[in-house]
């Protein structure tokens, strides 16, 4: 029953949001955030959460992704009512409904143990996010929405084709077809290897597109650049976490089928390419949200690199999944505050923010140090662990490239961020109408505190969860 309640509650609140008054509707979002976080805590405490004959079940990976989704959505949900009060020029019905539906579908994605159900949940979350991208209703947001839908549709279609190939690999080997991941892993050594190999390539490209790995990332700068800040945070920390979960489930199957080396080598190469492209395009970026989009490309590359290396780096990748979601929440929400204060997201106008909106500017600066893996933030610990694992596995050249690319990102992103925070404000700025309030700065501040806490100490329950998730993937 708990497994059903986790995804059904947001959907029920979405239906309620569709019919209540405009002034009541935004309050349903934080209500959903609190209730979902409570249900998630209960599910993690109970441990054995399943339904529908194993189609829904929270294993170690699902638990970790569910926790990431729930915590990030909770912080963003607190932000939503104050954001919508500032955007009274836009109707909020579709915005609130789509947010709640996306939460329900991301939760269903984390719980899914069936190949087809997982695909449906991820596609549904994609479609639910599309109206959120078009919230500003101008030409750029329309273009970004169509790019997100069309490129995402190509990716999800390739993933579906890969799923068919994987299912056919069982038929080709004379096995009964079961689309449950546990059965697929168990049957993997007997599956037809050519079909498994082809399936993994298609699934990697398909779900890699949803993650935003280079070179399948072309939708990301436009989508993140035009999305409201709260939507960008959920896309960068929540939807990508779901797509990453889908990808690593197939890495698990490929490993059990004896195709693990191919899968890991591919992930290492694409991980480094994503880091490089993210770092290059982040430098001198003139749009602060597009800069954060390329930062997401980089960090998705770090995630798949850690999984590709395996061993200790795999534990670092699991921790990085958590740290990335928290950091993107800090960066997007504080950048959104600055955008409203300046009426622009262009770095040519966003200058001297510490004088205009000191709290949000300080949060953006702290978020920069967090996202570039500076101590004492959690990303320092996760990336340090990945580098340690890379060196321990004998991949010295990869570790050196990783550190060089991290330095490039620090310098390129730092130059832009310091200018935004400490530069001289333009002389022709209009009078300040927006001011930081508790409701707009508390959510990113809460996430920032969590980043510092995780950088200094990983609580034992979370540490066990991270180890369990890493062990689940590292068993093969």
Q: What pLDDT digit, counting tens, does each position of 58-82 carry?
A: 999 999 999 999 999 999 999 999 9
Per-residue pLDDT, averaged over 118-136, amounts to 92
Residue 285 near residue 294 (C-beta atoms within 8 A):
yes
Summarised one tens digit per residue, pLDDT across range 305-317 is 999 999 999 999 9
Summarised one tens digit per residue, pLDDT across range 10-26 is 999 999 999 999 889 99
Going by pLDDT thresholds of 50, 70 and 90, the confidence category of residue 362 is: very high
Element (H, E) at 156: helix 139-172
Looking at the predicted structure, is the pLDDT value of residue 476 above 60?
A: no
Percent of the residues in the chain that have a pLDDT greater than 90, as a whole number: 74
Going by pLDDT thresholds of 50, 70 and 90, the confidence category of residue 155 is: very high
Positive or negative, the Cα torsion across 122, 36, 26, 330? Answer: negative
Which pLDDT does position 382 carry in this prediction? 97
Long-range contacts of 433-437 (CB under 8 A, 24+ apart): 434/86, 434/337, 434/340, 434/341, 434/357, 435/341, 435/357, 436/337, 436/357, 436/358, 436/359, 436/360, 437/82
Which pLDDT does position 236 carry in this prediction? 94
- Give the whole-angstrom CA distance, residue 141 versus residue 147: 10
Which pLDDT does position 174 carry in this prediction? 67
Looking at the predicted structure, is the pLDDT value of residue 87 above 90?
A: no
Extended beta strands in 93-226, E state = none
Which pLDDT does position 473 carry in this prediction? 85
Which pLDDT does position 44 carry in this prediction? 94
Looking at the predicted structure, is the pLDDT value of residue 474 above 80?
A: no
Looking at the predicted structure, is the pLDDT value of residue 363 above 90?
A: yes
Residue 178 near residue 184 (C-beta atoms within 8 A):
yes
Among 129-138, 152-161, 299-308, 416-425, the least confident range: 416-425
Percent of the residues in the chain that have a pLDDT greater than 70, as a whole number: 98
- Give the whole-angstrom CA distance, residue 264 versus residue 250: 11
Which pLDDT does position 402 carry in this prediction? 97
Residue 264 near residue 309 (C-beta atoms within 8 A):
yes
Summarised one tens digit per residue, pLDDT across range 454-472 is 999 999 999 999 999 999 8
Which pLDDT does position 210 carry in this prediction? 92
Which pLDDT does position 175 carry in this prediction? 67
Residue 266 near residue 308 (C-beta atoms within 8 A):
yes
Which pLDDT does position 173 carry in this prediction? 64
Looking at the predicted structure, is the pLDDT value of residue 443 above 80?
A: yes
- Residue 235: which of 223, 250, 246, 245 has the closest Cα? 223
Looking at the predicted structure, is the pLDDT value of residue 178 above 90?
A: no
Long-range contacts of 403-408 (CB under 8 A, 24+ apart): 405/272, 405/275, 405/276, 405/279, 405/298, 406/275, 406/372, 406/373, 408/279, 408/280, 408/283
- Give the whole-angstrom CA distance, residue 307 versus residue 259: 14
Among 44-48, 210-214, 234-238, 444-448, the least confident range: 44-48
What's the mean per-residue pLDDT of the chain? 92
Going by pLDDT thresholds of 50, 70 and 90, the confidence category of residue 36 is: very high
Per-residue pLDDT, averaged over 320-328, amounts to 97
Summarised one tens digit per residue, pLDDT across range 46-60 is 888 888 888 999 999
Looking at the predicted structure, is the pLDDT value of residue 271 above 90?
A: yes
Residue with tokens 């719980």: 111
Which pLDDT does position 475 carry in this prediction? 52
pTM of the model: 0.95
Looking at the predicted structure, is the pLDDT value of residue 368 above 90?
A: yes
Looking at the predicted structure, is the pLDDT value of residue 360 above 60?
A: yes
């Amino acid at each position: 029953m708990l497994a059903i309640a986790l995804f059904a509650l947001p959907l029920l609140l979405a239906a309620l949001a569709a019919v209540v008054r405009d002034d009541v509707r935004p309050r349903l979002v934080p209500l959903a955030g609190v209730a979902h976080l409570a249900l998630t805590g209960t599910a993690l405490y109970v441990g054995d959460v399943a339904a529908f004959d194993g189609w829904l079940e929270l294993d170690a990976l699902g638990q970790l992704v569910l926790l990431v989704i729930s915590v990030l959505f909770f912080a963003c949900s607190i932000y939503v009512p104050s954001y919508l009060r500032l955007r009274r020029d836009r109707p909020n019905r579709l915005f609130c409904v789509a947010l709640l539906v996306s939460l329900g579908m991301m939760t269903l994605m984390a719980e899914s143990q069936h190949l087809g159900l997982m695909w449906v949940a991820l596609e549904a979350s994609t479609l639910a996010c599309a109206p959120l991208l078009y919230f500003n209703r101008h030409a750029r947001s329309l273009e970004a929405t169509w790019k997100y839908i069309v490129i995402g549709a190509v990716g999800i279609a390739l993933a579906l084709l890969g799923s068919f190939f994987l299912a056919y690999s069982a038929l080709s080997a004379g096995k009964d077809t079961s689309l449950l991941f546990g059965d697929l892993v168990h049957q993997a050594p007997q599956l037809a290897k050519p079909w498994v190999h082809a399936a993994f390539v298609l699934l990697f490209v398909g779900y890699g597109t949803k993650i935003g790995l280079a070179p399948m990332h072309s939708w990301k700068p436009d989508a993140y650049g035009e999305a409201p800040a709260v939507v960008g945070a959920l896309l960068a920390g929540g939807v990508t976490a779901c797509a990453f979960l889908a990808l690593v489930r197939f890495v698990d199957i490929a490993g059990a089928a004896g195709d693990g080396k191919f899968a890991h080598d591919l992930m290492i190469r694409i991980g480094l390419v994503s880091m490089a492209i993210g770092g290059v395009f982040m430098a001198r970026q003139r749009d602060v949200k597009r800069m954060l989009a390329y930062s997401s490309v980089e960090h998705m590359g770090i995630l798949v690199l850690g999984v590709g290396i395996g061993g200790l780096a795999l534990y670092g990748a699991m921790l990085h999944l958590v740290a990335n979601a928290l950091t993107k929440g800090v960066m997007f929400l504080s950048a959104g505050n600055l955008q409203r204060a300046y009426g622009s997201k262009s770095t040519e106008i966003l200058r001297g923010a510490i004088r205009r909106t000191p709290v949000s500017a300080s949060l953006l600066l702290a978020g920069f140090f967090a996202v570039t893996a500076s101590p004492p933030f959690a990303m320092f610990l996760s990336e340090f662990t990945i580098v340690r694992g890379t060196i321990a596995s004998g991949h010295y050249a990869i570790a050196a490239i990783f550190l060089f690319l991290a330095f490039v990102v620090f310098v390129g992103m730092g130059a832009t961020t310091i200018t935004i925070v400490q530069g001289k404000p333009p002389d022709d700025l209009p009078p300040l109408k927006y001011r930081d309030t508790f409701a707009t700065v508390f959510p990113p501040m809460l996430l920032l505190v969590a980043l510092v806490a995780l950088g200094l100490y990983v609580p034992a329950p979370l540490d066990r969860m991270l180890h369990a998730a890493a062990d689940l993937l590292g068993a093969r």
